[in-house]
């Protein structure tokens, strides 16, 4: 199976939400769904404070820069919202393609 060709994050929200969506969109372009799933796991782990996941994400563009959001627990949901939308979209796609 080929990689994700186009995924764009459009929406309204705070600057953290918009930045997370933009960074995520850049990182997943051309990746296979399995690779995107792995990236999703790393990102979630990073947001929970996993230093190894953060280090692994450093090779994936600017996404690891969002680790600083952890210092503001109320804002973590802002950084995770685009990830939730992506995950739901992937699950919907998998459901349609079997």
Instruction: Give the long-range contacts of residues 67-71, CB within 8 A, separation 24 or more.
Output: 69/16
Q: 9-26 pLDDT, tens per residue?
A: 677 789 999 999 999 988
% of the chain residues with pLDDT over 90: 60
Residue 3 — pLDDT band, cuts 50, 70, 90? low
Give the per-residue pLDDT at 29: 87
58 or 89, greater pLDDT: 58
Give the per-residue pLDDT at 38: 93
pTM of the model: 0.84
């Amino acid at each position: 199976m080929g990689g994700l060709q186009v995924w764009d994050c459009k929406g309204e929200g705070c600057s953290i939400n918009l930045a997370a969506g933009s960074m995520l969109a850049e990182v997943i372009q051309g990746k296979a769904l399995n690779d995107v799933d792995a990236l999703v796991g790393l990102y979630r782990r990073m947001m929970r404070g996993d230093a190894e996941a953060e280090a692994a994400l450093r090779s994936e563009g600017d996404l690891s820069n969002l680790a600083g959001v952890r210092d503001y627990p109320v804002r973590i949901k802002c950084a995770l919202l685009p990830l939730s939308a992506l995950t739901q979209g992937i699950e919907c796609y998998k459901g349609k393609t079997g």
